[in-house]
Chains A and B, each alone.
Chain A
């Protein structure tokens, strides 16, 4: 599955995080409405059995620019990485996601997943997403995916038919969409942010 020859992605740049044998790293980012943000991280799973969990939630509803670049390198065997980047773009926000997972030839028994899910609430908002996998080991479980969608209209009508006002129904949908990546203790902040970017 690799294109051509394996090249260590951290020859040209240094990783921001190196995860050693048996260590765990968990990273959480919350990007709120009105915030321009650029995240560019390189993470090296360098020791056997290292594990990584990345959760990023963004909510952009004005004219923000959000850029997220994640480079994850499985250098050693038996490591696991999970990346979830979920967000909602409204207004004329511009969001870009560029993610790359590289599995070195010796990184057998790697488990890596990368999921970027986006909801567009307005026609002027833009999301670009480019998830990539480079696999040079043969005994690995890797998955990646990206979705860009809108809120489900059947769900919306079902909720409204039960008396839930449209704005409240949309807020419920958005919160349920984001819930897998909302960090502990941040529920209320996210709820307020969701309500602030609801289209009138």
Chain B
């Protein structure tokens, strides 16, 4: 398998509005791709379409993930296959603790993969280890998911979940926005520690700060629902100098 993700001519929209107008994108194992572009270009919609958000309707095109038809899978099946989306706006779930939430997630995944479920002791050990890794205070494990969290705490919780689920493709949707330098470094450390010859990352951003800590292999510019430019880090310098209008 030479491609982890293969998107061909993807068209998708929300309601009557077409937002993605023919996306072609290939991501190989171990690669980090940055997806840049102005507001409204369709960056977040692409992440949502890949993860199967119900309000995003795909009208044309195909997506293969590890050689399988991603678009035919339910959102939970996409997760079990190894796809992870760090939400731009993480959702609050009153009444559900982080521990209950992650235990359900980890064990559903293990079950789907034919692995034995973790018992409470094994699970809590893993949880503590991953929380320490993203420098999250252990008291968060008892708190309701994202309820009353600051912006930075929510983003850190996304990276914690990513560390728990060890995806083969992580999509970070504006995970860097609104973070101070310390929080940004924690996010970057989390992403870098996950990097391996098999694991890949898509970083959706319109800033460049995170890309100083997580070096992308390929940079794409998305405008009006299409990828208008792909290349190396030099694109970042061009964007920094002259913005997105040049493309």
Contacts and interface: CB of A to CB of B under 8 A. Distances in A.
Interface stretch (A7-15, A22-30, A133-141, A163-171): A163-171
Instruction: Please classify the interface of chain B as helix (H, G, I), strand (E, B), loop, or mixed, using the class held by over half of its residues.
Output: helix
Contacts of B80: 163
Interface residues of A, number: 21
Contacts of B54: 153, 157
B79 A162 contact: yes
Contact of A165 (B53, B108, B161): B108
Nearest to A176: B95
Contacts, number: 72
Q: Interface residue tally of chain B, by bracket?
A: 20 to 34
Contact of A168 (B52, B74, B102, B108): B108
Contacts of A169: 104
A155 B109 contact: no
A164 B93 contact: no
A160 B80 CA distance: 10
A83 to B, nearest CB: 20
Nearest to A177: B95
B76 A158 contact: no
Nearest to A160: B75
Nearest to A155: B93
Given A158-B87, A161-B79, A168 B93 contact: no
A163 B108 contact: yes
A160 B74 CA distance: 8
A182 B101 CA distance: 19
Contact of B85 (A161, A165, A173, A179): A161
Interface in B34-76: 51-54, 74-76
A179 to B, nearest CB: 6
B218 interface: no
A163 B109 contact: yes
Contact of B101 (A162, A165, A166, A177): A162
Contacts of A177: 95
A154 B145 CA distance: 13
B1 interface: no
Contacts of B85: 161
B132 interface: no
B113 to A, nearest CB: 10
A159 interface: yes
A30 to B, nearest CB: 18
Contact of B105 (A157, A162, A166, A176): A162
Interface of A: 153-155, 157-166, 168-169, 172-173, 175-177, 179
Interface of B: 51-54, 74-76, 78-80, 84-85, 87, 90-96, 100-102, 104-106, 108-109, 112, 161, 165
9 shortest interchain CB distances as A-B pairs: A176-B95, A163-B79, A158-B91, A160-B75, A162-B105, A163-B109, A160-B76, A163-B108, A164-B104
23 contacts: A155-B91, A155-B93, A157-B54, A157-B91, A158-B91, A158-B93, A160-B52, A160-B74, A160-B79, A161-B51, A161-B87, A162-B161, A163-B76, A163-B105, A163-B106, A163-B108, A163-B165, A164-B105, A172-B104, A173-B93, A176-B93, A176-B94, A176-B95
